[in-house]
Amino acid sequence: METTFPPGLPVYVAIKRALKIQIESGELPEGARVPSELELARQYNVSRNPTRQALRDLELEGYITRTPGRGSFVAPISKRQRLLRVPAWRTVAVACPGLECHYDREVMKGFIRAAARRDVHTMVYFRRLNTKDEFEFLADIRNSGIEGIAFWLQHASPEMLDLLHKFRRSNYPFVLLDRYVRGLDSDFVVTDNEDVAFRLTKTLIERGHRAIGIITTELDATSSEDRLRGYRRALQEASLPFQEELMCIYDSDVAPIEACIEPIMSNQHPPTALFVNHDGLATMLLDALAERGYGVPGDIEIATVDDNELSAAVDIPMITASQPGEAIGRESAEVLLGRIEDPTRAPQRRFLPAKFQLEPAIDAHSSPHRTPGGVI
């Protein structure tokens, strides 16, 4: 059976990566024999040149020892090259895509403070990674001297999930932040995103709205999926139908925000309220609505997750909730350190409640909310 290598990845790198994962996960334990150049060439249906390069690199990095006439063997972990140097004291890591968001900064602050209280040093990584780079980054972390890592999983590819499963089997401590992976038996600390969307949508219903639309980002993470689930649950509990024509999944690479507004607001019975996935999307939406003559909150009310505290900046009343960033950071550090102390304990799955600001300051001069049945 022919092996398919990731596009753009040199063959020797893919073979080296596969062997390194087997060593890191314990599938090839210390002292185990490593397949020869010829065996690897047959296994991957390639020439011996890439397999020779892969084994040479692993030897240089201290993963294997090679003895003429005997073969290659997994080296003791103490011999391995430390690709990411860390200080001599106890060290853990936390990694996120960036610091643009107020919520991200709060998570970092909470994590660092909680680790410091336990006399543990934190290495902080701000890296927005493609799938290949994220895989390489996490695969190398374990050999760095870092005892464990908490991180945003940016790409839930099959390759990444296989790596995380191997981390779990080999008891390498890690905690997922902000989003989790369904079916992965791992520690995570996240906002209760279903509850956030449920409560925000329920508030709109309690304010008299019966046609409530939703604008969300791509459903490629559990945060977005759970918010959609919460929105639908609130409608269901109020005996309101989920109307697919009032939903838009926004992708900035495909079309502008106006492409979401036009079909939703052109319905025979347009929504009088919108649940919007996050405040960055909501602020773009405000401009698009204003260009079409809609007042907020007079003509249409908006409820959103306000992680960047933009609602105060734009000075337009919206119903908001924000994720508990500092608490997520603090608890993820505690979970990670607990996992380091007891690798066999049950997975910690923590959903933290959001902070709500449910009542916007309605402008007395705003027009009343409109519903298909009249004015409320």
- pLDDT digit string (tens) for 123-144? 999 878 777 788 888 887 876 7
- Tell me the CATH class for 11-79: mainly alpha
Show Cβ contacts of residue 261 under 8 Å, excluding neighbours closer than 6 positions.
Answer: 285, 288, 289, 292
Model pLDDT, residue 302: 95
Domain 193-323+357-375: assigned CATH number? 3.40.50.2300
Considering the chain, tell me which residue range(s) the CATH 3.40.50.2300 domain(s) occupy: 91-189+326-352, 193-323+357-375
Considering the chain, tell me which residue range(s) the CATH 1.10.10.10 domain(s) occupy: 11-79
Percent of the chain with pLDDT over 70: 89
Stretch among 214-223, 307-316, 363-372 having the lowest mean pLDDT: 363-372
Model pLDDT, residue 372: 35
C-alpha to C-alpha distance for 168 and 18, rounded to whole angstroms:
17
Instruction: Between 251 and 213, name the one with better pLDDT.
Output: 213
- Please report, as a single letter, which amino acid is at residue 217: T
Percent of the chain with pLDDT over 90: 49
Inform me whether the pLDDT recorded for 342 exceeds 90. Answer: yes
Show Cβ contacts of residue 21 under 8 Å, excluding neighbours closer than 6 positions.
Answer: 27, 139, 162, 163, 166
pTM of the entire predicted model: 0.76
Cβ(174)–Cβ(167) below 8 Å: yes
Model pLDDT, residue 146: 87
Region class of 234: left (phi > 0), else alpha (psi between -120 and 50), else beta: alpha
Retrieve residue 133's tokens: 């780079």
Cβ(331)–Cβ(352) below 8 Å: yes
b/e per residue 318-338 (b: at least 16 CB within 10 A): bbbbbbbbbbbbbbbbbbbbe
Q: How many residues does the chain have?
A: 376
Inform me whether the pLDDT recorded for 84 exceeds 80. Answer: no
**What is the CATH topology of the domain spanning 91-189+326-352?**
Rossmann fold (3.40.50)
Stretch among 13-27, 130-144, 247-261, 317-331 having the lowest mean pLDDT: 130-144
Q: CA 359 from chain center: how many Å?
A: 29
Most confident of 5-19, 25-39, 334-348: 334-348
Cβ(216)–Cβ(227) below 8 Å: yes
Model pLDDT, residue 82: 53
pLDDT band at 367 (very low <50, low <70, confident <90, very high): very low
Tens of pLDDT, residues 29-60:
889 999 999 999 999 999 988 898 889 888 87
Show Cβ contacts of residue 279 under 8 Å, excluding neighbours closer than 6 positions.
Answer: 304, 305, 306, 307, 308, 309, 310, 311, 320
Model pLDDT, residue 366: 40
Sign of the C-alpha dihedral computed for residues 361, 363, 369 and 375 taken in this order = positive
Tens of pLDDT, residues 66-82:
887 788 999 887 666 55
